[in-house]
Amino acid sequence: MSQLVEPVVARKAGMSLDLIGAWPEIVGPRLEEGCRPEKLVWPKGYGDETTQPATLVIACEGAFALRLQHEVETILSRVNDYFGYRAVDKIKIVQRAVRQVRPNRKPPVGPLTASHRDTIREATARIESDNLRRALERLGESVLRRNAVRPKGDGR
């Protein structure tokens, strides 16, 4: 697949799939989900003996822009280390949505047994407010379902 995509990415964006693949290591975990390399803009006359370094255009979601600005020098250094020479001398940040599949951050939950339901009912039986009792029952169910999948001796 990469043999088909690589020439298109190189022609359209002026960069390789390897840079895109190495991006999380280049920017680190604080920035990887909010920005991505979009293209390398090479100056006119690219390929001549007097080739100037490129400008790396990075697409960035609004919330990450300030954080990215503070890391520009570090990112420039890491990108150039990746290439093995001074390939990039500027970074241009463009604000746009960076669509990535985000991992499911919900904790795994186990089944709620009849014993769990009885425990919750006993604990909330004397609460007079219906709204408060229902809220505490939902909280108890959530806690017990999460604890049902946690290994014994986890300490949390």
Lateral strand order in the sheet of 54-60: 35-41, 54-60, 88-95
Does 13 score more than 70 pLDDT? no
Residue in this structure with the two tokens 């989900």, named with its chain if needed: 33
Residue 76 has pLDDT above 80, yes or no: yes
Domains along the sequence of the chain with CATH: 2-95 (3.30.300), 114-149 (no CATH)
The predicted pLDDT at position 40 comes to 83
Q: Identify the H or E element spanning 41.
A: strand 35-41
Strands 35-41 and 54-60: antiparallel
Q: Which residues pair with 37 in a beta bridge?
A: 58
Least Cα distance to 72 among 100, 17, 44, 35 occurs for 35
More confident: 154 or 112? 112
Residues whose CB is less than 8 angstroms from the CB of residue 32 and which lie 6 or more positions away in sequence, other chains included: 23, 24
Question: In this predicted structure, what is the pLDDT of residue 6?
Answer: 44
pTM of the model: 0.54
